[in-house]
Amino acid sequence: GAGVSQTPSNKVTEKGKYVELRCDPISGHTALYWYRQSLGQGPEFLIYFQGTGAADDSGLPNDRFFAVRPEGSVSTLKIQRTERGDSAVYLCASSPRVGESPYNEQFFGPGTRLTVL
């Protein structure tokens, strides 16, 4: 079946604007994760959903960042009043089961490259 998809693939915006980034997980996957990857760095965790609820949002850098997953499938990462430091690749991943099973492999999408001018 199809993998994790993310739209748009690229987003250029001006400082202070609002952006939304979308993630479509693999069908049937109950867990969904957002990560942010700055240039030359490894991805850093932002938020994790089990079903519709955010089970762990400890990685969100500040209150300008928010994510939703209203029906337990598609998720949207929302960034208000964007700053130049928000420029990065935003990666989404999904895994098939909830809980802390060590067998919960995460499958990643291609990412959205956000550039804030």
Partner 1 sequence: KQEVTQIPAALSVPEGENLVLNCSFTDSAIYNLQWFRQDPGKGLTSLLLIQSSQREQTSGRLNASLDKSSGRSTLYIAASQPGDSATYLCAVRTGANNLFFGTGTRLTVIP
Contacts of 83 (CB under 8 A, 6+ apart): 15, 64, 116
Task: State CA 84 to chain mean position distance.
Answer: 18
Minimal distance in Å, beta carbon 45 to partner 1? 4
Q: Quote the least distance from Cβ 79 to partner 1, whole Å.
A: 19
CA distances from 86 to 4, 14, 56, 69, 108 (A): 23, 11, 20, 21, 20
Coil, strand, or helix at residue 85? helix
Nearest distance from C-beta of residue 110 to partner 1, angstroms:
4
Q: Which is nearer to partner 1, 41 or 52 (CB)?
A: 41
Q: Which is nearer to partner 1, 16 or 51 (by Cβ)? A: 51
First and final C-alpha spacing in the chain: 37
**Please, which residue, 22 or 113, has the CB nearer to partner 1?**
113
Parallel/antiparallel/unpaired status of strands 19-24 and 5-7: antiparallel
Residues in contact with partner 1 by the rule CB under 8 A: 4, 6, 31, 33, 35, 40-45, 48, 55-56, 59, 91, 93, 100, 102-111, 113
Is 71 or 100 the residue whose CB approaches partner 1 more closely?
100
Q: How far is the CB of 109 from partner 1 (least distance, A)?
A: 5
